[in-house]
C-alpha cells in the first residue's frame, strides 16, 4: 500500500520494572524441575545454548508498586502526546496493538482512550502476534487516507508475557517448544500518526506491506485454556529465512530504492543470529540492522519501536535516512514499512 502525507512519530517506551538475568531464568527452571540431575544438566545446557544463539543477556519483567501492565501503555501514550505538544483530546483514532489483555471485551483501546480523557474517537484493538503494533500502523494509515477527518491517531501496545512463560520443563525434548519463551521481555510503547511532521521527529510513511502464510498458524501459540507460550522455534526461524528476505526485496522495489541505499533495518528482535542471517541473504551490512535483543529480550510488539528508540537515543538517525521497519510473527505473518526520517 502506497502511503501519502502520513507521519509516524518517534515512539515513547516504558520498560518493565525488574531486570532478569539469564542465571535467574535457569534458577526458575531448576525450581520447577522434578527429575534427575543428569536430565537437568542437559536442559540447562540446552537453554544456555538458546541464550547464546539468540544473544539473550537480560530482559525486564513485572510492574512497580500496584501498577498493572496497561498502566505502562497509558504512560507511554501520555508521554508521546506531551513530547509532541498534542492534547489527547485532539486524537481521532486509538488502536491498541498488543497481545496482552485483561479481558475479552470491551476493546483494551477503550480503556486507553477513557484514561486519556478522549471523549469521542474511532477506538478498537488489533491483534496479530508480534506484528500487531505495526499492523495497527497499517490500519491507522489506511483509515487516515480514506477519511480526511482523522487528523491524529494513537497506536499503542503493552506486552507483558510474564504469565505465559513456561518454566516447567521436565525433559530436554520439551525445549524445542518452550525455550523461546524464556527469552521474552516486557514493556510498552506508543506512537502517533499525524498529517505533518511532529516535534520529536517523524518517519514519513511511504509504503506498507503485509503478507501472511496461514498454513503455519500452529507453530507459535498461547492457548486460551492453559495460557502458556509454545513455539516451534526452528520451524519459525526457517520460515523467516525463507520468506522475509523476499518480502523486504519486494518492498524495496516498490519504493524504487536499492538495498544498499537503506540506512537502517529496524526489525523485530527474536534473536541476533536470525537477523544477521537475513542480512547476509540480502547482502546488508550488519551495522544497518541494530540489535536490542541482548538489552531487553524479545519484547513482542514493543521490539520494533524499542529498537527505533534505541537508534534515536544514540543519535544514529538523521534527516533523510531511509528506514525499513519489519516484523515477522506467529501466523506466519509479515508486516513491513518503508519510511524516510524527517527531523
Task: Say which DSSP state 303 is in.
Answer: H
Query: CB-based contacts of 269: which residues, under 8 Å, 6+ apart?
Result: 275, 291, 292, 293, 296, 297, 298, 299, 303, 306, 307
Q: Among all chains, which residue has been given the C-alpha cell 524516510? A: 340
Look at residues 91, 311, 315, 334 and name the one whose alpha carbon lies nearest to residue 190. Answer: 91
Query: CB-based contacts of 79: which residues, under 8 Å, 6+ apart?
Result: 12, 14, 190
**Domain harbouring 320, CATH code:** 3.40.47.10
Residue 153 lies in a domain: no
**HEC readout, 60-82:** EECCCCCCCHHHHHHHHHHHHHH
Query: For strand 202-212 and strand 220-221, is the pairing parallel, antiparallel, or unpaired?
Result: unpaired
Residue 114 lies in a domain: no
Question: What angle in degrees, to the nearest 10, is found between the helix axes of 69-83 and 108-115?
Answer: 50
Is the preceding omega at residue 123 within 30 degrees of 0, hence cis?
no
Q: Which residues of 317-328 are buried (b: 16+ CB within 10 A; e: fewer)?
A: beeebbbbbbbb
Q: Among all chains, which residue has been given the C-alpha cell 499492523? A: 135
Instruction: List pLDDT tens digits, range 123-164.
Output: 999 999 999 999 999 999 999 999 999 999 999 999 999 999
Residue 196 CA to residue 321 CA, distance in Å, equals 17
Domain coverage including residue 332: 204-342
Instruction: List pLDDT tens digits, range 82-114.
Output: 999 999 999 999 999 999 999 999 999 999 999
pLDDT for 233 equals 86
Query: CB-based contacts of 28: which residues, under 8 Å, 6+ apart?
Result: 167
Residue 28 lies in a domain: no
Residue 6 lies in a domain: no
Query: CB-based contacts of 199: which residues, under 8 Å, 6+ apart?
Result: 83, 84, 85
pLDDT for 14 equals 98
Residue 277 lies in a domain: yes
Q: Among all chains, which residue has been given the C-alpha cell 482512550? A: 113
Instruction: List pLDDT tens digits, range 50-64.
Output: 999 999 999 999 999
Q: How many domains does the chain have?
A: 1
pLDDT for 343 equals 87
Which stretches of the chain score pLDDT less than 50? Answer: none
Q: CA torsion, points 87, 104, 132, 153, in degrees to nearest 10? A: -20
Residue 176 CA to residue 232 CA, distance in Å, equals 6
Residue 261 lies in a domain: yes
Residue 308 lies in a domain: yes
Q: Which residues sit opposite 130 in a β-bridge?
A: 128
Look at residues 288, 278, 281, 266 and name the one whose alpha carbon lies nearest to residue 337. Answer: 266
Tell me the pTM: 0.96
pLDDT for 323 equals 98
Amino acid at each position: 500500500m502506497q502511503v501519502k502525507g502520513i507521519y509516524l512519530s518517534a515512539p515513547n517506551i516504558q520498560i518493565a520494572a525488574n531486570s532478569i538475568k539469564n542465571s535467574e531464568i535457569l534458577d526458575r527452571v531448576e525450581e520447577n524441575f522434578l527429575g534427575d540431575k543428569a536430565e537437568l544438566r542437559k536442559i540447562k545446557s540446552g537453554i544456555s545454548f538458546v541464550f547464546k544463539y539468540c544473544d539473550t543477556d537480560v530482559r525486564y519483567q513485572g510492574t512497580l508498586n500496584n501498577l498493572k501492565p496497561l498502566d505502562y501503555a497509558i504512560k507511554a501514550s501520555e508521554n508521546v502526546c506531551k513530547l509532541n505538544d498534542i492534547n489527547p483530546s485532539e486524537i481521532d483514532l486509538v488502536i491498541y496493538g498488543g497481545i496482552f489483555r485483561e479481558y475479552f471485551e470491551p476493546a483494551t483501546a477503550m480503556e486507553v482512550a477513557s484514561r486519556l480523557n478522549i471523549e469521542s474517537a474511532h477506538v478498537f484493538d488489533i491483534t496479530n502476534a508480534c506484528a500487531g503494533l505495526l499492523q495497527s500502523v497499517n490500519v491507522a494509515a489506511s483509515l487516515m487516507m480514506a477519511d480526511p477527518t482523522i487528523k491524529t491517531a494513537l497506536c499503542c501496545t503493552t506486552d507483558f508475557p510474564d504469565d505465559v512463560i513456561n518454566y516447567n520443563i521436565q525433559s530436554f525434548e520439551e525445549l524445542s517448544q518452550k525455550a523461546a519463551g524464556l527469552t521474552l521481555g516486557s514493556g510498552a510503547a506508543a506512537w502517533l500518526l499525524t498529517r505533518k511532521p511532529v516535534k520529536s521527529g517523524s518517519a514519513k510513511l511511504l509504503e506498507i506491506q503485509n503478507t501472511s502464510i496461514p498454513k503455519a498458524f500452529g507453530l507459535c501459540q498461547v492457548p486460551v485454556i492453559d495460557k502458556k507460550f509454545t513455539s516451534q522455534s526452528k520451524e519459525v526461524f526457517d520460515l523467516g529465512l525463507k520468506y522475509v528476505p523476499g518480502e523486504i526485496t519486494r518492498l524495496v522495489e516498490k519504493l524504487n530504492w536499492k538495498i544498499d541505499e537503506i540506512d537502517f533495518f529496524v526489525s523485530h528482535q527474536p534473536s541476533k543470529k536470525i537477523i544477521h542471517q537475513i542480512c547476509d541473504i540480502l547482502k546488508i551490512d550488519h551495522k544497518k540492522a541494530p540489535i536490542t535483543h541482548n538489552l531487553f529480550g524479545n519484547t513482542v510488539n514493543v521490539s520494533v519501536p524499542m529498537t527505533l528508540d534505541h537508534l534515536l537515543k544514540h543519535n544514529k538517525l538523521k534527516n533523510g535516512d531511509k528506514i525499513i521497519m519489519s516484523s515477522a510473527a506467529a501466523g506466519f505473518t509479515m508486516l513491513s514499512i518503508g519510511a524516510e526520517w524527517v527531523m
